[in-house]
Structure 1
Amino acid sequence: MLDLAIRGGTIITAADRFNADIGVKDGRVTMIAADVGEAVEQIDATGLWVMPGGVDGHVHLAQPTGDGTVMADDFESGTRAAAAGGTTTVLPFAQQIKGTSLRACVEDYRKKAEGQCHIDVAFHLIVTDPTPSVLGQELPALVADGYTSFKVFMTYDDLMLDDGQMLEVFDTARREGALVMVHAEGHDAIRFMTKKLEDAGHTEPYWHAHSHSRIAEREATHRAISHAELTDVPIVIVHVSGPEPLEQIKWARARGRKVFAETCPQYIQLVADDLKGLNMDFEGAKYVCSPPPRDEASQEAIWQGLADGSFDIFSSDHAPFRIDGPGGTGKDNPRARTSFKWVPNGIPGVETRLQILFSEGIMKGRISAERFVELTSTNPAKLYGLYPRKGSITIGGDADIVLWNPEATGTIRQENLHHGPDYTPYEGLEVTGIPQQTILRGKTVARNGDVTGPLGAGEIMSRDASGRL
């Protein structure tokens, strides 16, 4: 007998939409048919859309910051929030601390996650100190162990690599068959604009968007692509904010380069003017992230890219901080009041990612439901080596399933969210389409906004080769 039967719903995958029942045994989908027979547990999904669980390929949880601030989500709260929002797999980053072993950092990070996850987790790496031993020994061994993607930064003093280091990392990734994720913003251009703005007395959070300019993002995107072309390695340009970097990606693809593109909710829902706050006040710090939101024309370019296939994945880039962190550990810390450059970069979004794209995309006719699944589940699972176990509703795959009520409406409110921060940048946004039930490997972990699954239900996974779509 089956463990679970989901009956009467409309199944939507990246490729199909049809009415059928789903049978689950031992955490896997074993039957998809008009009638799957008897089961221990039965769910009536009549009137609901049955979609694969979300795969969020870009989240930051329990990550060190280096400046005294503290991320507001650990694995428990971050994965709890993800489950409530319809996500069943997240990929956070094990960050190397400069001067230390990458392997040791990965092992320490894994210990933080063990037994603390409500949903499944797999790790990317962040390489900040590519020493000969890291490139020659640690990275190859970690890739062989299933850590098949790693991220590099082109800005931030404590994270960035110079061009020579990037080329060495890219070359190692090519040799080992790994995928490189790139935060593409030009550090020197940002530093130049920051000094000019501060010298002119422009220190409020609003000016962050001017210091992290479109030009800095466009130039760095082109430079990263050039490095990837020289070393013949696939890369992902993450959190693309507007048409300028997207044009560079399209240019590279036209030349046959394997360049993937990611965007995020902030670039379809927020604009730079949000950083003004109520009246050029510190309220604008709630919206400080990098790259920053741009303008309405940029939003339209992002929507066009989501619709026409220019973007491969839609991630949250969940980077959670409290505004009022204890002991000055949040966005409103003493240094942040002196200049925008000290405001911690990042906004929460792991719980609201799917609702925003569902409501603003599917329900407003900008993208199809199938494209929604492709962007938020199937493509990230494929790109990061988790498919077909994750990312689809298919025989033999994990029974990670979300039941959506496309007719239900609601309003995003901080008081209803499950994450660690004390705010959401999407406060008051009205949405249509609610994830009614989140199922992880055949077990319900969230229902009607309440997380019901036990702590520790999530597994830490290794992955197959990344970079394949």
Structure 2
Amino acid sequence: MEFDTVVRNGIIANASECILGQDIGIKDGLIACIGIGLPVSASTSVIDAQGGYITPGGVDSHVHLEQWNTPTGDTWETGTRSAVCGGTTTVLCFASQNQTDQSVLPVVEDYLGLAKGRSACDYGIHLILTNPTKEVVEKELPLLVRYSGITSVKLYMTYHPMKLGDREILDIMVATRRLGITTMVHAENHDMIELIIETLEQRGQVEPYYQAVSRPKIAEAEATYRAISLSELMDTPILLVHVSSELAAKHIRDAQTRMLPIYGETCPQYLYLLSDRLRGENFEGAKCVCSPPLRERPEDTDAMWTSIANGTFTTFSSDHAATKFYAEGGKRLGLINGRPVFAKIPNGLPGLETRLPLLFKGVEEGRITIQDFVRVASSNPAKLYGVTRKGAVLPGYDADLCIWYPTGKLEPFVLKNSMLHHDIDYTPFEDMTFTNWPRYTLLRGKMGWNRDDGGFIGKFGGGNYIKRTVSALAGPRNVFVNEWRPPI
């Protein structure tokens, strides 16, 4: 066979093993062969990994781009460019239903229209449900699964415009269980948070730091336990997104020990940042406002690393929900007449491009293995969300590759926001030191990022829409309502 590209001299890393001394042969955008001494012709491109790791392209399954409620965030162009430059080749973003929308079909159509012809990487869509009418749940969700390949929904247990009650969540779970839809849950106790916010505002404690105070760990832990209970009642698999605290992770771990189909996700900010970052002068702390918030104690960041290493967390996502700091409508919405009001600060941090490098630091520091890295950053997100042909360096899979520098090859550098390729005016990881970074990113065999020569060389519109299948981890539960029995 004549290959389009051959990648040599690297350590191929998958979720279960590493392979040394073998080449990767790429043909027509797919990995055609892995073997020793693959032949090359005059027309074959050869990439020398020089002893660096070759991992699957990242699958970032929790990304917010160009949503109607983030007017100063990244666009499809700037966000996916940033993804490719950070080693990510697939993003899953959110079409968000407004509470006044009676149908989700136009919501999905409009959002897909925004992405068409603009994405630099492959992409798929989740649906955020905020008005789960009988028509939407019973008729429209099956249509989206069958015709659009949208096989995941996200539900919120907090936020006034998005919050669903327990009964609404249960009704949705009936449908998602039958359809094999992955059900994502943002778990925080809304009433606890509202009470604390009101109390803090009455006391005049409204600086950005108090955003973390207003959303304590117990609010996340209670809602996590409740979501697990709803899932157990309905025998519906769920993913608890952006878990930030040791107690919430323990609830997930305990449920998994009881063999319940409960999955967890965490994000870079919960591995590295603490709530002291919210105390910055000149309102700078607003840059680190996210929900759930940054936690106070290093024990929680350590627990997040442990939960990746021991398999509690299924996925590791950026939750890229970027909002500019200086632009009108950005983070400084929380400055009202020069006075800080933390409850008005838009939530979310930028992190698409830095997700994989930050997780790779954990490999270098011995916190996790390279197999753990691949499992949570690529292979499990692909399995959980029905993204076939992604997440592994194996024959028949898309030739989506992230090639790293060999140990010691890259001179350590201090990260500056100006080095990144998003369209956000800050990064919360400014001034961190890195000793590795994606050297090359290949999307279906085509080089999109070459850190040594040209930087971003991908193509806007080069990304394909992925019609996803049902989850390989959380597929349909063959239990129908007339056969249903409550769990013992």
Q: Give me the TM-score of the superposition, normalised by structure 1.
A: 0.96
The equivalent residue for 2:48 is 44
| TM-fit CA distance, 1:192 | 0.4
RMSD: 1.3
Q: Is the 8 A contact 2:334 2:342 kept in 1?
A: no
446-455 or 411-420, which moves further after superposition? 446-455
| TM-fit CA distance, 1:420 | 1.4
Letter matched to residue 231 of structure 1: M
User: Partners in 2 of 1:434 and 1:404 — Cα distance?
Assistant: 6
The equivalent residue for 1:125 is 127
Q: Provide Cα deviations, 1:131-189, integer angstroms capped at 9, x if missing partner.
A: 11101111121122311111000111111111111111111111222110000001111
> What is the SS of the residue equivalent to 1:461?
coil
1:276 partnered with 2:288: no
Q: Is the 8 A contact 1:71 1:319 kept in 2?
A: no
The equivalent residue for 2:386 is 385
The equivalent residue for 2:374 is 373
Q: Provide Cα deviations, 1:328-363, integer angstroms capped at 9, x if missing partner.
A: 21010265644101100000000000101101x111
Q: Is the 8 A contact 1:234 1:467 kept in 2?
A: no
Letter matched to residue 150 of structure 2: Y
> What is the SS of the residue equivalent to 2:348?
coil
Letter matched to residue 380 of structure 1: P
Identify the match of residue 318 of structure 1 among 297, 320, 345: 320
Letter matched to residue 367 of structure 2: R
The equivalent residue for 1:27 is 29
User: Partners in 2 of 1:243 and 1:334 — Cα distance?
Assistant: 29
> What is the SS of the residue equivalent to 2:349?
coil
The equivalent residue for 1:342 is 344
Task: Tell me the number of residue pairs that the alignment of Structure 1 and Structure 2 aligns.
Answer: 460
Which segments of 5 or more consecutive residues in structure 1 lack a partner in the other structure?
none
> What is the SS of the residue equivalent to 1:427?
coil
| TM-fit CA distance, 1:45 | 1.5
Runs in 1 of length 4+ with deviation above 6 angstroms?
Answer: none
Q: Is the 8 A contact 1:63 1:71 kept in 2?
A: no
The equivalent residue for 1:291 is 292
Letter matched to residue 321 of structure 2: A
Identify the match of residue 446 of structure 1 among 440, 445, 449: 449
The equivalent residue for 1:242 is 245
The equivalent residue for 2:482 is none
Letter matched to residue 276 of structure 1: R
Q: Provide Cα deviations, 1:292-344, integer angstroms capped at 9, x if missing partner.
A: 1112110111111111111111110000100011xx21010265644101100
Letter matched to residue 127 of structure 1: L
The equivalent residue for 1:59 is 63
Letter matched to residue 402 of structure 1: C
User: Partners in 2 of 1:335 and 1:141 — Cα distance?
Assistant: 44
Q: Provide Cα deviations, 1:279-298, integer angstroms capped at 9, x if missing partner.
A: xx411000000001112110
> What is the SS of the residue equivalent to 1:392?
coil
| TM-fit CA distance, 1:254 | 2.4
Q: Provide Cα deviations, 1:397-423, integer angstroms capped at 9, x if missing partner.
A: 000011101432322210111111100
> What is the SS of the residue equivalent to 1:289?
coil
Letter matched to residue 136 of structure 1: E
448-457 or 389-398, which moves further after superposition? 448-457
Q: Is the 8 A contact 2:3 2:26 kept in 1?
A: yes
After the TM superposition, which residues 196-215 of structure 1 pair with which residues of structure 2 at under 5 Å, given as runs? 196-215=199-218
Q: Is the 8 A contact 1:383 1:468 kept in 2?
A: yes
| TM-fit CA distance, 1:375 | 1.1
Identify the match of residue 464 of structure 2 among 455, 459, 465: 459
Q: Give me the TM-score of the superposition, normalised by structure 2.
A: 0.92
Letter matched to residue 318 of structure 1: H
User: Partners in 1 of 2:16 and 2:175 — Cα distance?
Assistant: 35
User: Partners in 2 of 1:193 and 1:467 — Cα distance?
Assistant: 40
| TM-fit CA distance, 1:17 | 1.3
User: Partners in 1 of 2:396 and 2:334 — Cα distance?
Assistant: 53
